[in-house]
Amino acid sequence: MRPTAKDLAEAAGVSLATVDRVLNDRPFVSKTSSKKVNEAIERIGFIRNPAAVNLARNKTYRFLFMLPLAGDQYLRELLQRVDEAREALKSDLTLVDVEQIPVNDPHQVARYLSAIDSSRIDGVAIMAPESPQVRDAMARLLERGTKVVQFLSGQEKLENTDFVGVDNFAAGATAGKIIGRFLKHETGKIMVIAETMMAQDSIERRLGFDSIINSQFGHLKALPSLETYGDERRAETIIQRTLENNREIKAAYILSAEARIPVASIERCSDIRALTVVVHERTPFTEEALRGEKIDTIIAQDPGHAVRSALRIMRARTDLRTPLASQEKIRIEILLKENL
């Protein structure tokens, strides 16, 4: 049994009230009593339980999700899952809020993070493209005492933060393996489409994809990444030009989370069912496209699991506990028409 506060009071020769004041840095404790308690802590191996202290204090946890202002169906899925968590955790003294900002402007993201009051916010889950400005602002937020979770898209070389999401290199490699197997005996080119290649998840997926195509399927050539920036007109223009100038295209890999705009653009510009098409994330659009055989595979991660995982991690870090790694691992799901 771990030593209790009562055991600590007996070992230090002071009252339980004095132990409480020392452990919680409250006033009106003499230096002698404080020294006795701290020496007893070392002597009997007392371990403070922050979760129990927070419960006794009736502490309310305050967590924030910082998500993109602009998005499509997958963003709506994330917002719905956050809303569900907000309602479920109200009775658990946990307040969950969302702030949507233009995450493609790193300076604006950095200014927003710098303005967060660490005395009011215990943890922030941040979904933003990789940039030095955002990475530095997140590091300063950590220094001020707010816990930080990199949510679905991370910042390279940012220490002391947790990441919630799939292994994006593995997700890209999975897409490469699927397309390579589907086109095992066909020579051709692969069109690769992203919303932006500024995002760390897009970079990692492209690296994983190329690693498999280049090493295992030499008869296929992956073209340079096309960036749509979430703009329908731009997407249709660059996809149409790519298809016109590369008649040997046999497949399309859409590596960003929002697949609706690129898939719709491909369908308007060509016979999409003649291509092997792999996308990311399960949304109402990608489900319908998979059932209609306009796409072949969805590589997904559960948005509800991701939201709940981010909240559990922020709660654990606030309580000075280590999160349970096996519980927070987000699995890569491969969805076909047959297993929807």
pLDDT in tens, 234-287: 999 999 999 999 999 999 999 998 999 999 999 999 999 999 999 999 999 999
Q: What is the DSSP letter of 12?
A: H
At residue 56, the pLDDT reads 52
Q: For residue 37, what pLDDT band results from cuts at 50, 70 and 90?
A: confident
CB 127 within 8 A of CB 81: no
- Which alpha helices (H) appear in the chain, and where do they start and end? 5-12, 16-23, 31-44, 50-56, 73-89, 106-114, 132-143, 168-182, 200-216, 232-245, 260-269, 284-291, 303-318, 325-328
Residue 36 predicted with pLDDT over 80 = yes
Percent of residues, the chain, with pLDDT higher than 90: 61
- CA-wise closest residue to 170 among 204, 135, 219, 213: 204
Burial class (CB in 10 A: 0-12, 13-18, 19+), 240: middle
Residue 288 predicted with pLDDT over 90 = yes
- Of 125-134, 223-232, 249-258, minimum mean pLDDT range: 125-134
Q: For residue 48, what pLDDT band results from cuts at 50, 70 and 90?
A: low
The pair of three-digit structure tokens given for residue 61, joined into one six-digit string: 């946890």
Residue 296 predicted with pLDDT over 80 = yes
Q: For residue 313, what pLDDT band results from cuts at 50, 70 and 90?
A: very high
Burial class (CB in 10 A: 0-12, 13-18, 19+), 301: buried
At residue 218, the pLDDT reads 92
Residue 189 predicted with pLDDT over 80 = yes
Encode pLDDT of 106-117 as tens digits.
Answer: 899 999 999 998
Q: What's the sign of the alpha-carbon dihedral 328, 286, 77, 338?
A: negative
- Kindly list the strands in the beta sheet with 61-68, ordered across the sheet, starting from the edge strand earlier in the chain: 94-101, 61-68, 123-126, 147-151, 162-164
At residue 261, the pLDDT reads 94
Helix-then-strand count for the chain, H and E: 14, 12
At residue 212, the pLDDT reads 97
CA distance 212 to 177: 6
At residue 55, the pLDDT reads 54
- Mean pLDDT in residue range 199-228: 95
Q: How many residues does the chain have?
A: 340
For 292, residues 6+ apart whose C-beta sits below 8 A from its C-beta are none
The pair of three-digit structure tokens given for residue 303, joined into one six-digit string: 């948005």
Residue 54 predicted with pLDDT over 60 = no
- Mean pLDDT in residue range 58-71: 87
CA distance 335 to 243: 26
CA distance 266 to 232: 11
What integer best gives the mean pLDDT of the chain? 90
pTM value is 0.79
Residue 53 predicted with pLDDT over 60 = no
Residue 215 predicted with pLDDT over 90 = yes
At residue 93, the pLDDT reads 84
Residue 318 predicted with pLDDT over 90 = no
Encode pLDDT of 130-173 as tens digits.
Answer: 888 989 999 999 888 899 999 988 777 777 788 999 999 999 99
Q: Which helix (H) or strand (E) holds 15?
A: none
At residue 157, the pLDDT reads 74
Rg (CA), the chain: 25
CA distance 314 to 146: 9
End-to-end CA distance of the chain: 48
Return phi, psi of residue 308, to 5°: -65, -40
Give the number of other CB atoms < 10 A from CB of residue 139: 16
